[in-house]
Amino acid sequence: MKNIFFPALFLLSIGCTRSNGKTDLPNNFSYQLSQAEAEKIMGEPLKLNDSSSGYADGAHYFKCSYFGFVKDSITGFEGRLYYMYEDYDKESEAHKVYEGFRISNEKNSPLKNFAAADEGYYQEPPGPPPFILARKGTKLYRFKINKSTGHSSVDRLLEVASEKLSEP
């Protein structure tokens, strides 16, 4: 039993490898949305509400949410920002998921082009809450301000999303 345990422990310690030779997620964590980036979008101090990562449906993923500390005096909402990053094994799968969301969301309100991506769009009030879906190669990025406050900004959301997509 010892002969199996230690090699298995070693393999776990160096990380799992996908069929294309990439590790689970980059070790530099640039795919994550930092608290500073989230606070830039929302224009107020935030706390990390939750985060998780894993592998499902042909993609490695990371998702998190940030919440404000107090209700906004203008809107009465506690700010909420959701973020998800996915890295698919195949670009065709990333495109397929992107297309499914695009087709579904264009029924809610007009989609505006998000030029920082291979494929991308955003939506903003008065229809749905501010939302960006962007695909760059095998990667999908989703940003959603679920509870806008008097401090949150669609322009800063677009700016941070553009910066995330420009990272290697």
pLDDT at 148 over 90: no
- Its pTM stands at 0.82
133 phi-psi bin (left φ>0, alpha ψ -120 to 50, beta other): beta
Residue 31 predicted with pLDDT over 50: yes
Q: For 50-107, what is each residue's pLDDT tens digit? A: 999 999 989 999 999 999 998 888 888 899 999 999 999 999 999 999 999 999 988 8
Which residues face 143 on adjacent strands? 83, 132
Rounded distance, CA 132 to CA 101, Å? Answer: 11
The 8 Å CB, 24+ separation contacts for 126-134 are: 130/154, 130/157, 131/105, 132/157, 132/158, 132/161, 133/98, 133/101, 133/102, 133/105, 134/161, 134/165
**How would DSSP label each residue in 124-146?**
-TTSSPPEEEEEETTEEEEEEEE
Could you tell me the domains of the chain?
Answer: 20-166 (3.40.1000)
Q: Among the listed ranges 10-24, 42-56, 92-106, 123-137, which one has the minimum average pLDDT value?
A: 10-24
